[in-house]
A and B are shown apart, each in its own frame.
Chain A
Amino acid sequence: MIVSKKDIPNFLDKLISEYQVFAPVKEETYTLFKQICSGADAALDAGNTKLPAKEIFFPQSEKLFSYNVSEEGARLEAPVDDQKKVIFGVRPCDAKSLTLLDNVFNNDKYQDPYYLTRRNNTIMIGIGCNSPASTCFCTSVNGGPFDTKGLDLLLVDTGDAYVVEVVSDKGREIAEKAGFAAAADANKDAAAKVKQDAVVTCQVNIDGLKAKLDVNFYDSIWEKIHEKCLGCGACTYLCPTCHCFDIVDEATDCNGCRVRNWDSCAFPLFTLHGSGHNPRTSNKERYRNRIMHKFKYFVDNFNEIACVGCGRCIKNCPVNMDIRVVLEDIRGSEARLDS
């Protein structure tokens, strides 16, 4: 199928009457996913958003429930957001990150109703990346600029129009309802050409990385690697696969609500025991955990790397800690196999 770019606002406006529609919106110097009221508000050519699409499903701050407590008992209200949503213009790396987060929020024992209800009620319409940035390395971590994981529809930008690839039944339904025209062979060829030309230039060799991480927990490499890291949470908050959170009460007396906020393994308080003991004493342990979590623990638990190669951490780190360099350094280090 195919849709002309000038028809996109109209397509979005129709969706808006039925769904909450989220799309990248221009904010001064970057874009963010926001709910749009008009199809014209979507900024589609601006590359990846500053914050990943995860925030739509797992907001930085979210009320879990409100409560009113009296002598007789407690009245809890936990409204779960079950509004139908469409995410338009999500990039393949962000779409894939959600399939990774699904493992966490739908684990072997528990389901997170807030995240999963949103996931189940959301249609994901992605746009492939014709010109991946120099910081993108999706193809090194089992992704790609036109990867369809986590998407219902994938749009391929062929200049004046998007060639629409149907990925799921949900996607087919929405495309048919929108009345997208059939793509001519020429359009399909153009899309194929675009895909072929979109080269992710940056390759990170991760062969043998996992094997190394399996044995190098006590290796001296960790003493050096973290050294310039400031221990702030910028990389974790901008990361599409980081999912750590804190739970706090916001209350006055017996009325209040329980809220969860993003948290970061980079912060010392994250693991501090009530006794004062901290199992991750210094930045070294905390940085090691971040790398281990993404490239070893997550692989052990879910057989997937918890990194989609979006490059946000690279572009935004205040001291240019570059995860690509870090991984290379680890891979190239002499791991003590006996440790």
Chain B
Amino acid sequence: MQKLTAQIKDAAKKLLEEKKVDLVIGFAEGSLPLRGTPFFARTSEEADKLTWSRGCENNLANYLRKREDKVAVVAKGCDVRSIVALIKENQINRDNLYIIGVPCNGMIDRKKVNAMLGGREVLAMEENGDTVVLKGKDFSETVNITDLLHSSCQDCRYGNPVVYDELMGELLPEKGEDDFADVKEFAAKSAAERRAYLAKEFSKCIRCYACRNACPMCYCEECFVDCSQPEWIGKSAANTEDNILFQVVRVFHSAGRCADCGACERACPMGINLRLLTRKMVNDVKELFNAETGVNMDDKAALATFTANDPEPFLVKE
């Protein structure tokens, strides 16, 4: 990680000094243990604050849409997939973007850390190869990093950036196919069980829209939940069905566009299992269209293309 940090700093400084870009968007050390925070470096001195760690969890593609300036971005696998999807949607001008690709083998989920510590507060986290040391007042515990990763990172098959202008470190070994076992397990439940689970999860929703705003693909000028003429959906968080409707429509809207980066679920302050829905959609898109979001520059977005002999099994049932 220290090596990567040094490499990122050097790359950013060079780009800024040679005036190849106006801005480098990456991560600086945040204010919480092992927390990277999005950082905007415009000078070489600022670039010195850039860092890389297991806490650089945000999807920085979110800051890249419709920019006028020349920008370099420090992008891990999922960021790049979203960037690719946004380029295809003409939200990002590839010519003005310099991708500093960083192979990523997962980010630490602080919610999992907190759950593991059962209420004790972690004051410092130190990475040490495959383990991380969690330190607090009167305790120090060593834990396998794999047990603390975000579920999206555990499922991720694209830790290596699929597109980059410059690569930091070494590419990581490829992983096998995602089996979507979680989605299949949920789908196998009865309708009543599924309904009950969703009702329980979405009764927690406070409609802060952190999920929407953290999602790089949620960029509608007017989100349907905000529209008042017509008012598509109730605004009150007290109505669980409206909360579900909000998320379901959001997920439908991200069909073939969602890179399963998990930004929505990470952003949720209430700990709602949002990826259950996004992954269902990702799984469906994969099965129906054999498409994956942003895994190369050539494929058209799943819903932006068709052929005359599309089977359309969802329209016509034999």
Which A residues form the contact surface with B (CB < 8 A)? 27-30, 45-47, 50-51, 59-61, 131, 133-135, 224, 227-228, 230-234, 236-238, 246, 248, 250, 259, 261-262, 264, 267, 269, 314-316, 318-322, 324-325
14 contacts between A and B (CB under 8 A): A27-B204, A60-B206, A60-B236, A61-B239, A230-B62, A232-B267, A233-B209, A259-B236, A267-B226, A318-B58, A318-B214, A318-B266, A319-B37, A322-B37
Q: Which residues of B contact A237 (CB under 8 A)?
A: 206-208, 269
Tell whether B238 is near chain A: CB-to-CB under 8 Å: yes
Q: Which residues of B contact A (CB under 8 A)?
A: 30-32, 35-40, 58, 62-63, 111, 114-115, 119, 121, 123, 137, 204, 206-210, 212-214, 226, 234-239, 263, 266-267, 269-271
On chain A, the residues within 8 Å of B207 by CB distance are 233, 237, 261
B37 CB contacts on chain A under 8 angstroms: 228, 319-322
Bound together, the chains give a CA A261 to CA B270 distance in angstroms of 18
CA distance A322 to B58 in the complex (A): 15
Given contacts A50-B269, A228-B38, contact A320 B121 (CB under 8 A): no
Question: Beyond A232-B208, A233-B208, A325-B31, is A30–B271 a contact (Cβ under 8 Å)?
Answer: yes
A156–B126 Cα distance when bound, in Å, is 34
B62 pairs with A246, CB closer than 8 A: no
Chain B residues near A246 (CB-CB < 8 A)? 235
Tell which of A59, A224, A232 touches B214, judged by Cβ atoms closer than 8 Å.
A232
Q: Which residue of A lies closest to B212 (CB)?
A: A232
- Are A234's CB and B271's CB within 8 A? no
Is the beta-carbon distance between A60 and B31 smaller than 8 angstroms? no
Q: Are B235 and A248 in contact (CB under 8 A)?
A: yes
Q: Bound complex: CA of A197 vs CA of B111, how far in Å?
A: 28
Closest to A46 in B: B119
Known: A131-B137, A318-B214. A61 touches B40 (CB 8 A): no
Which of A50, A133, A233, A320 interacts with B270 by CB under 8 Å? Answer: A50
Chain B residues whose C-beta falls within 8 Å of the C-beta of A324 in the assembled complex: 31
Docked pose: A230 CA to B263 CA in angstroms: 12
Shortest Cβ gap from A138 to chain B (Å)? 16
Secondary structure at chain A's binding surface: helix, strand, loop or mixed? loop
- Which chain B residues border A259 with CB–CB below 8 Å? 236
Measured CB to CB, the closest approach of chain A to B227, in angstroms, equals: 9
Give the complex CA separation of A47 and B62 in angstroms: 33
Q: A131-B137, A224-B40 are in contact. Are A318 and B210 (CB under 8 A)?
A: yes
Q: How far is the CA of A59 from the CA of B269 in the complex (A)?
A: 18
> Given the complex of chains A and B, what is the CA–CA distance between A131 and B31 in angstroms?
19
A134 touches B123 (CB 8 A): yes
Closest 9 interchain pairs by CB? Answer: A318-B267, A320-B37, A61-B238, A232-B213, A232-B210, A233-B208, A322-B31, A320-B30, A61-B236
Kindly report which residue of chain B lies nearest to residue A27, judged by CB atoms.
Answer: B204
Q: In the complex, what residues of B have CB within 8 A of residue A230's CB?
A: 62, 210, 213-214, 267
In the complex with contacts A134-B123, A232-B214, A314-B32, A319-B38 CB distance below 8 A: yes
Cβ of B115 and Cβ of A29 under 8 Å apart?
yes
CB neighbours of B62 from chain A (8 A): 230
A238 to B209, CA, bound (A): 13
Judge whether A28 and B271 touch: CB under 8 Å. yes
B213 touches A269 (CB 8 A): no
Q: With a CB–CB cut-off of 8 A, which chain B residues contact A236?
A: 208
For the complex formed, measure the closest distance between the CB of A274 and the CB atoms of chain B, giving whole angstroms.
10
B residues near A27, Cβ cutoff 8 Å: 204
- Provide the residues of chain B in CB contact with A231, threshold 8 Å: 213
Chain A contacts for B210, CB-based, 8 A: 230, 232-234, 318
Tell me, rounded to whole Å, the shortest Cβ–Cβ distance linking A291 to chain B: 16
Contact in complex: A269, B226 (CB < 8 Å): yes
A51 to B271, CA, bound (A): 13
Q: Are A47 and B119 in contact (CB under 8 A)?
A: yes
Max chain A Cβ within 10 angstroms of own Cβ: one of B39, B62, B213 = B213
| Residues of chain B contacted by A50 (CB below 8 angstroms) | 269-270
Residue among B263, B266, B269 with the most chain A CB within 10 A? B269
Query: Which of A28, A318, A322 has most chain B Cβ within 10 Å?
Result: A318
Shortest distance from the beta carbon of B269 to any chain A beta carbon, whole Å: 4
CB distance from B123 to the nearest CB of A (A): 6
* Cα of A324 to Cα of B30 in the assembled complex, Å: 12
A residues near B209, Cβ cutoff 8 Å? 232-233, 267
Smallest distance from the beta carbon of B17 to chain A beta carbons, Å? 21
What chain A residues lie within 8 Å of B234 (beta carbons)?
Answer: 250
Among B63, B214, B270, the most chain A Cβ lie within 10 Å of the Cβ of B270
The docked-state distance in angstroms from the alpha carbon of A27 to that of B203 is 12
Given contacts A230-B62, A320-B31, contact A261 B237 (CB under 8 A): yes
- The contact of A51 among B31, B111, B206, by CB within 8 Å, is B206
Q: Are B121 and A133 in contact (CB under 8 A)?
A: yes
| A30 partner residues in chain B, CB cutoff 8 A | 271
A157 → chain B closest CB, angstroms: 14
CB distance from B57 to the nearest CB of A (A): 9
Q: A29-B115, A232-B214 are in contact. Are A61 and B237 (CB under 8 A)?
A: yes
- CB–CB A250/B38 < 8 A: no
CB neighbours (8 Å) of B38 from chain A are 228, 319-320
Q: Contact check: which of A28, A51, A232, A320 meets B35 at CB < 8 Å?
A: A320
Taking A232-B208, A233-B208, A320-B31 as given, write out 19 further A-B residue pairs in contact, using a Cβ cutoff of 8 Å, ordered by the A residue number.
A28-B271, A29-B114, A51-B206, A60-B238, A61-B238, A228-B37, A228-B40, A228-B63, A230-B267, A231-B213, A232-B212, A233-B207, A237-B208, A246-B235, A250-B236, A262-B206, A316-B269, A319-B58, A320-B36
A322 & B30 in contact (Cβ 8 Å cutoff): yes
Per the bound structure, the CA–CA distance linking A184 and B212 in Å amounts to 55
**B31 surroundings in chain A (CB, below 8 A):** 314, 320, 322, 324-325
